[in-house]
């Protein structure tokens, strides 16, 4: 169930990377982490912002990182794109065809026009933001519409958009609000959930497992694995952190 988020921030990297250029550091760090945690993870989630922050070379670095990850692990491109039909088609092409991602995260504010272009390939999956783990999410997602929150309406719209292509729609549901996760799991027992917010963001694993019951779920952790140690033992520390989390998740 473990998904390892790749949010490579040169300012947080172990001492071994202090002398490298940012591009080298990002590529080498991600590749090393990828190898170290692969035995414990079924998926990787590169966060596009950390690559784009490197400028135009960042997308090349991302491609290098993707090529170095084990072939049999899922790659979820955390891009949170959300735009209308013809533009969304271009994003789908960029992330599925050009980068070879298995899944992408999608923002729902523009309605289903911005989701359906990502559902054309039954081998791929769009994880649509429903209830996210950050504090200010409530300002939009918890607005009440006829007695229920916006995030439930959004989740229903997303799942409905994928009803002709089972398995192509998942939901992003933050670990920091297990009661929302439980509520969505009751309504959508078979929908894959991507659950960020464990670790640095404060989500509790036992609460998440209880809330999820037995639905399909990927639990993401980024910083607490990537930056488990800033010293020369960063590879062992990342592997140990991933292993511990994988064990907790499999109980």
Selected binder of a copy of itself within 4, 14, 29, 47 (CB under 8 A): 47
Task: List the one residue from 15, 143, 213, 247 that touches a copy of itself (CB under 8 A).
Answer: 143
Which of 80, 90, 163, 177 is labelled catalytic? 80
**Site membership for a copy of itself, residue 55 (CB under 8 A):** yes
Alpha helices in the chain (DSSP H): 22-37, 48-52, 57-68, 85-92, 138-141, 150-161, 178-187, 205-212, 223-226, 234-250
Which of 29, 91, 118, 188 touches a copy of itself (CB under 8 A)? 91
Q: Does 38 bind a copy of itself (CB under 8 A)?
A: no
- Asked if residue 76 lies in contact with residue 101, where contact means CB atoms within 8 angstroms, the answer is yes
Q: Which stretch binds a copy of itself (CB under 8 A): 30-38, 108-116, 187-195, 202-210?
A: 108-116
Angle at CA 165, nearest 5°, toward 110 and 159? Answer: 45
What part of residues 193-222 is at the interface with a copy of itself (CB under 8 A)? none
Q: Which residues of 225-244 are buried (b: 16+ CB within 10 A; e: fewer)?
A: bbbbeeeeebbebbbbbbbe
- Pick from 58, 162, 178, 203: which binds a copy of itself (CB under 8 A)? 58
Task: Evaluate whether 77 touches 99 at the Cβ level (below 8 Å).
Answer: yes
Nearer to a copy of itself, 147 or 251 (CB): 147
Any contact of residue 62 with a copy of itself (CB under 8 A)?
A: yes
Which of 14, 34, 46, 82 touches a copy of itself (CB under 8 A)? 82
Number of residues that this document lists for the chain: 251
Sign of CA dihedral 21, 73, 92, 142: negative
90 tagged catalytic: no
Residues annotated as catalytic are 80
């Amino acid at each position: 169930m473990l998904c390892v988020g790749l949010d490579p921030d040169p300012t947080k990297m172990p001492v071994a990377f202090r002398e490298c250029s940012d591009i080298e550091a990002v590529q080498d760090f991600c590749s090393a982490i990828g190898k170290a945690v692969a035995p414990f993870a079924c998926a990787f989630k590169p966060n596009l912002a950390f690559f784009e922050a490197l400028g135009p070379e960042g997308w090349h670095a991302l491609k290098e990182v993707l090529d170095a990850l084990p072939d049999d692990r899922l790659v979820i491109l955390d891009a949170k794109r959300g735009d209308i039909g013809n533009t969304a088609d271009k994003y789908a092409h960029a992330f599925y065809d050009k980068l070879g991602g298995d899944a992408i995260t999608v923002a729902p504010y523009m309605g289903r026009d911005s989701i359906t272009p990502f559902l054309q390939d039954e081998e791929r999956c769009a994880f649509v933001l429903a209830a996210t783990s950050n504090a200010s999410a409530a300002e939009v997602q918890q607005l009440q519409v006829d007695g229920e929150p916006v995030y439930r309406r959004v989740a229903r719209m997303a799942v409905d958009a994928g009803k002709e292509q089972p398995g192509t729609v998942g939901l992003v549901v933050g670990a920091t609000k297990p009661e929302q996760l439980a509520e969505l799991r009751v309504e959508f027992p078979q929908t894959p959930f991507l659950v960020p917010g464990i670790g640095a963001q404060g989500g509790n694993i036992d609460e998440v497992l209880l809330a999820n019951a037995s639905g399909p779920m990927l639990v993401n952790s980024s910083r607490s694995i990537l930056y488990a140690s800033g010293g020369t033992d960063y590879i062992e520390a990342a592997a140990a952190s991933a292993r511990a989390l994988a064990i907790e998740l499999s109980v």
